[in-house]
Amino acid sequence: MRKMLSLALAATMLTTMTVACSKSEETPGPSGSSSPVASTSTHPVTDKKIKATFLIQEHPSWPFKKDWTVWKNLQEASNIEFDFTPAAGDAFTQKLKLMAATDDLPDLIHYNLASANEYGVAGQLAKVNDYLHLMPNLKKILETEKDAKDILTASDGNIYFIPQIGLPKYTKVWLYRADIFAKHNLKPPTNTSELYDVLKQLKQLYPGSMPLISRNTMSSPIGNWFLDLGPQWGTGDMVYYNQKTKKWQFGPMENNFKAMLQYLNKLYAEKLLDPEWATLATKQWEDKLYTDDKAFITYDFIYRIETMLPLATQKNPNWKLMALDPLIQDGIGEKKYLVRSQIVQTDGYMISTKSKNKEALFKYADWLYGQEGSILSNFGKVGDTAVKNADGTYNWTSDVKTPLNPNGKNEYTAHYGFMSLGSVLKNTPDANQILYLSNKDVKSAFERFDKEKFDQQLPPVLKFTEAEKKQVAELEAAIRDYTVPRTVAFVQNGDFDKWDEHVAKVKSLKIDQLLDIYNKMQERQK
């Protein structure tokens, strides 16, 4: 997630841009510039060397290394020596909870906005707004980035989170095997009716295939396919904000949601949808797409167009994924894709109130948004791992393995730590160009989506009180525990004569009470 996760896998991983950088015609290499970015007689953060404890997330695909090049560069330039405590997944969550419970938070923590608000309102984190005079870069972001202040402000009116910024806007979209479509002169679908027709054609051509596949953890709001498809069916998954009615509604009891399930059930029953659609693991999903007679359409990260190419083209030089426009259900849906804010809520910094180095750490965070800090965290030192091109853009040297340089010796994250969790607060346009937009088909899709305004407007950010947050969490947990398996069952078993019974059950779980909390908060914030 950084890239896929940062993206998921993300971002983790999951890491969110459309400003492109042109590339130098010369081959990237150490000779691109003579002066490293970090070479300076004084330190940009603190001239007095300090030490700070740092609880940092560890990505399972890139085990944390304290001697990564990125950390050597950042510590040297900032004059801050970090005492790292890395942890991944549940281990990280439990460690943070224990530290908070014992009022023993480290100086710096890399995690998410929700936790920052929780511990900040409880008085355990320093208020970012009290240190904005030391943070000109963040101050500018709050003034110029739409909704930034609303997104970051906690229920008590303060900001406790310093977010990562600059990741690409579009994430998951419809993807199709363009080479297979071209081979059989098939027309890419533009709506759900055409999708059904082309799936039928593909099934006839490849009887042993499951033309439409998906990889999902349906119990997770992050990976839930219904969440992604919602706008195209005029609905949403769980509680969602309806941009037309300007109200918060509950998707899985709406007629449009039912229509979506009925459509997917039709595909499932006719063996056009993979029977493992709700549980398919990434490796198996990849294997099916790599094979020329197993699967042809999916819904996943747009960057798969590029990241799957190296392995796929070893077996089939013509293998090609391309992005489709949103596929709407005619009459009820909108041609929209869900997008993410430039303010990344899943990755950022928080600083303990007990830290003796609060000022230096706030200055450090702001420095990472600036030119020197962002280049060091994205590319490293010029003359070492970074190149400054003749046109002023940056790249990695030829030794660094990236999507644009697959023959590089060492991978940019695994070996050097660049763009790893906690090391970066700003994805530069140059890095995005290399990591996400270097492929012409990805870039073309982004440009087309922007031109056609396919991005779904972001919902309002609600500032629940702590009591309301607890109440919402309890209600949503019970509702989700029932709703997710039930809606999956509708796709796989049909039984739509029991839809009214399903709606009644949802209502008995106090859905009206939950929506009332959302909509009253919406009114208070107007």
Axis crossing angle, helix 511-524 with helix 499-508, rounded to the nearest 10: 60
Q: Cα 288 to chain center, whole Å?
A: 24
Angstrom CA distances, 64 to 70, 365, 415, stand at 11, 20, 10
Residue 38: which of 81, 2, 82, 71 has the closest Cα?
71
Distance CA 495, CA 262 (A): 10
What are 53-90's pLDDT values in tens digits?
Answer: 999 999 888 899 999 999 999 999 999 999 999 999 88
Q: Are 143 and 291 in contact (CB under 8 A)?
A: no
**Element of type H or E holding 71:** helix 69-78
- 307 Ramachandran zone, left/alpha/beta (phi>0; psi -120 to 50): alpha
pLDDT of residue 223: 56
Burial 236-270 (b: 16+ CB within 10 A, else e): bbbbbbeeeeeebbbbbbbebbbbbbebbbebbee
Q: What average pLDDT does this structure show over 381-403?
A: 95
Distance CA 190, CA 432 (A): 28
Q: Cα 30 to chain center, whole Å?
A: 32
Distance CA 66, CA 482 (A): 43
526 or 172: whose pLDDT is higher? Answer: 172
pLDDT at 162 over 90: yes
pLDDT of residue 1: 36
Angstrom CA distances, 379 to 235, 368, 382, 424, stand at 41, 12, 8, 10
What are 272-307's pLDDT values in tens digits?
Answer: 999 999 988 889 999 999 999 999 999 999 989 988
Q: What average pLDDT does this structure show over 364-386?
A: 97
Q: Are 389 and 433 in contact (CB under 8 A)?
A: no
Q: What average pLDDT does this structure show over 90-114?
A: 95
Q: Cα 93 to chain center, whole Å?
A: 19
pLDDT of residue 219: 59
Q: Cα 256 to chain center, whole Å?
A: 27
What are 412-434's pLDDT values in tens digits?
Answer: 999 999 999 999 999 999 999 88
Q: Say which amino acid occupies 24.
A: S
Distance CA 148, CA 128 (A): 13
Angstrom CA distances, 360 to 86, 135, 323, 354, stand at 21, 11, 45, 13
Here the tokens at position 326 are: 């949103």
